[in-house]
Amino acid sequence: MYRKSKKLLGYNIALFVFIVSLIVVFVGLRYYEEYQNNLEEAEKQEQLSQSKYVPPSPKPSGNSISNNPSPKPAPAPRPKPKPKPEIKTASDEDYNRLETILPQNQVIQDLPDNARILLSFFNFNTGERQWERDYLIGKGSATQVSSMPNDLDMKMIMHSRNVPLLKEGNLCNVVATAKKNGDYATELVGSKTSLLWKYKGVMKYKDCLGL
């Protein structure tokens, strides 16, 4: 009886040890599996964080130039147009003294004996050219005419606002100023070759006469 009890006790102890061993192995496997899962999850998180990591761009130094364009300055206000100056024309008094002033200019005194030049004055007061007075220029003479003379050598056309500027000896200076302002033109009636020969004695005035 005693031997059977001792044998049964040994059997129970062995069974208990076996069961405890199974439990320990099972728990160990569970912990090991959980540890492996946690380790894999940590590696995945680390890889994911590395793939999303963007290194910060370096801050520009104080000497660096910004790529941002500077704001455009506000457009300056347009200047107001200046009022057009009043166009002055010659008075009757200005014209009355021309027959005395023009012959005193050296260029007219040096003209050939048979020179025939028409000096015409005009204005644009109405927006269209209007003729005012005509003068036939010869050697040392200037005579007002009311109709177109025959056998002209050339025509000198000038805006009448230049008439008050004419004085003794400054005809060519006034012509140069009128040309610059677009107030003067010349028209050769005869051939230029024949006129150059006819006026060869006054070639120093060719720019003034339009030759």
Instruction: Dump pLDDT digits (tens) for 61-112.
Output: 555 545 555 666 777 777 766 554 545 677 888 888 888 888 989 999 999 9
Q: Any idea how long the chain is?
A: 211
The rounded Cα 66 to chain-centroid distance in angstroms is 27
How does pLDDT run across 126-142, given as a tens digit for each residue?
888 999 999 999 999 99
Q: Are residue 101 and residue 205 in the same domain, yes or no?
A: yes
With 0.95 as the threshold, say if the pTM is over it. no
10 inside domain: yes
Q: Are residue 129 and residue 185 in the same domain, yes or no?
A: yes
**For the chain, percent of residues with pLDDT exceeding 70:** 71
* Spatial contact of 155 and 117, defined as CB atoms under 8 Å apart: yes
Q: What per-residue confidence (pLDDT) applies to 75?
A: 72
172 to each of 74, 79, 182, 183, how far by Cα in Å? 50, 37, 15, 14
* Bridge partners (DSSP) listed for residue 137: 117, 142
112 inside domain: yes
**For the chain, percent of residues with pLDDT exceeding 90:** 30
Q: Are residue 42 and residue 101 in the same domain, yes or no?
A: no
Q: Are residue 106 and residue 18 in the same domain, yes or no?
A: no
Q: What per-residue confidence (pLDDT) applies to 55?
A: 56
Domain that residue 23 falls in: 1-46
62 to each of 65, 66, 196, how far by Cα in Å? 8, 10, 76
CATH number, position 177: 3.30.1050
* Domains contained in the chain, number: 2
Burial track 119-137 (b if 16+ CB lie within 10 A, e otherwise) = bbbbbeeeeeeeeebbbbb
195 inside domain: yes
3 inside domain: yes
Q: Where are the alpha helices (DSSP H) in 53-117?
A: 92-96, 98-101, 106-109
